[in-house]
Amino acid sequence: MPIDPHLRAAAMESRAWPFEEARKLLKRVEKAGKKTVLFETGYGPSGLPHIGTFGEVARTTMVRRAFEILSDAPTRLLCFSDDMDGMRKIPDNVPDRSFLAPHLHKPLTVVPNPFGGDYESFGHHNNAMLLRFLDTFGFDYEFASATGYYKSGKFDDVLIRALEKFDDIMAVMLPTLGEERQATYSPFLPISPISGRVLYVPMKKVDPKQGTITFADEDGTDVTLDVRGGRTKLQWKPDFGMRWAALGVDFEMFGKDHQTNAPIYDRICEILGGKAPEHFVYELFLDDKGQKISKSKGNGLTIDEWLTYADPDSLSLFMYNRPREAKKLYFDVIPRAVDEYMQFQQAFPRQEAKDRLMNPLWHIHNGNPPPPEEGAVSFSLLLNLVAVANTEDKAVLWAFLNRYAPELASHKHPRLDAQVGYAIRYFKDFVKPKKQYRPPTDDERRALEDLSAVLATLHEGAKPEEIQQKVYDIGRRDPYKTVQKDGSAGVAQGWFNMLYQVLLGEERGPRFGSFVALYGIENTRGLIAKALKGELAE
């Protein structure tokens, strides 16, 4: 469909990072006069896909959609799997590591599948897992297999060119290697006719006219092998540049761990007759211990784990936010992502067109996010409701929600209904085991008694703002009273911290007035009574 010229003009000025990257790409495409623009993402199927893999495809798609607002040029997204790489180590997260031991250094699409089932190899299994999640999220993409491309001859012409430019490629690579590695390095990796392993051996002869290489096989005999038809592959750094040259890739993003190698990829692409694509370098995801997440280690979050506790949209938002900053990717980031999504969703209808382009949901939903549900309740508030209601029954929780806002109903509010289910699972697995109530001090007991008495003056159904004001009134007394810049009485954060620790068993919590409105005034007074009797901290 034609793009609204006002939208295109706003996109040309937008500071949202996908538009900033799309504008760089637009200059490249216009200068080269390309008719179709190719985006690429890479996947190493040495382990199961993780959220970092999803993030690369999601973010690339965001740039692709932003580019399509700026240009009428057709676009493609190629998701490329390096499944011809040799299995250099056995992943930690496979059922039987000894099963894979005899197949070290064989191409991943030759290694038997340790997970069983109908997949013919470990590589095929992991590719299928990649495709499953790409399809689950509705990505528009084409899948490409390195094994398929090498064996089908799609890379043959550029492989011959690599033989012709062998010395030039070596001149790029050798200065990046140590002395010992320089002595044995070759950009070509032959597949041993004897063992089927990917060999890291020096070349004895390179013959561009015949399209062959000569090397010593594992038994010491010299073998001359045609580089075409999947009999060889390139080392991973030359392979990056070769693929860009062979396919005409225009845009590829990669993690910061590739940043120092990017000039090598670019130079090899140029040596082989291509033009290096536009890059976008994103920061790496870290697990709860601050270590980089890894497919082979299986640390951090998996896609399925995130989707157990939150919806796909919250995951997409997490990927959109601050891609150039290193972020911890563990279970405790989920509630904030869910609540931030709701906040952006509520803001979107009120925003002007140019401001919507800065809203992450524009990029997550290609300019058309779902409208917010009326009476939305934050995920953090639902978690606290699950905690104090002490139930895993959705019907019980919906009774609280319906009393809080009579217009709410599970059949009318499917997103909220799903969030209730997510909150139950998240609380059970992550919040409940860490809950630690503490008894109130003497000063805190008096403050809680006063709070209960003030709440008794309100009627059930009081608005959250009205309840919050009463909570503030108690907090403005000693020992929580503070003096603000204008001389008025304020409330120290310690007041709310005490409420969360004593009544909810947590360090942080939702806006307390909203919690009381949802849980009920009398129920909250009952909760305070239990805390004063020491029943919560038992």
CA-CA distance, 254 to 242, in Å (whole number)? 16
Count the alpha carbons within 13 Å of 530 in the hemisphere toward its beta carbon. Answer: 17
Confidence of residue 478 (pLDDT cuts 50, 70, 90): confident
Region of 214 please: left (phi>0), alpha (psi -120 to 50) or beta: beta
Whether 346 is in a domain gets the answer: no
pLDDT confidence tier of residue 263, bands split at 50, 70 and 90: very high
pLDDT tens digit string along 309-335? Answer: 999 999 999 999 999 998 888 888 999
Per-residue pLDDT, averaged over 51-72, amounts to: 93
Q: Is the pLDDT of residue 452 over 90?
A: yes
Work out the pLDDT band at 300, boundaries 50, 70, 90. low
In a domain, 302, yes or no: no
- Segments forming the whole domain that contains residue 210: 5-285
- pLDDT averaged over the chain? 92
Is residue 519 a part of any domain in this protein?
A: yes
Output the domain CATH number for residue 473: 1.10.10.350
The per-residue pLDDT for range 465-476, each reduced to its tens digit, is: 999 999 999 988
The pLDDT confidence band at residue 116, using thresholds 50, 70 and 90, is confident
Is 506 inside any structural domain? yes
Confidence of residue 376 (pLDDT cuts 50, 70, 90): confident
**Domain presence at residue 405:** no
pTM: 0.89
The 8-class DSSP code of residue 85 comes to S
Report whether 67 contacts 26 (CB < 8 A): yes
404 is a domain residue: no
Residue 227: inside a domain: yes
Q: Which of 285, 314, 340 is the last residue of a domain?
A: 285
Concatenating the DSSP letter of every residue in 497-536 gives HHHIIIIISSS--S-HHHHHHHH-HHHHHHHHHHHHHT-T
The 8 Å CB, 24+ separation contacts for 265-269 are 265/237, 265/240, 265/241, 266/241, 267/172, 267/241, 268/169, 268/172, 268/237, 268/238, 268/240, 268/241, 268/242, 269/240, 269/241, 269/242, 269/244, 269/245
Domain contains 357: no
User: What is the band of 294 on the pLDDT scale with cuts at 50, 70, 90?
Assistant: low
End of a domain among 266, 285, 304?
A: 285
Q: How many domains does the chain have?
A: 2
Q: What is the CATH number of the domain that holds 135?
A: 3.40.50.620
pLDDT at 486 over 80: no
Mean pLDDT, range 455-483, rounded to an integer: 89
pLDDT score of 249 more than 90: yes
Q: Which of 251, 285, 319 is the last residue of a domain?
A: 285
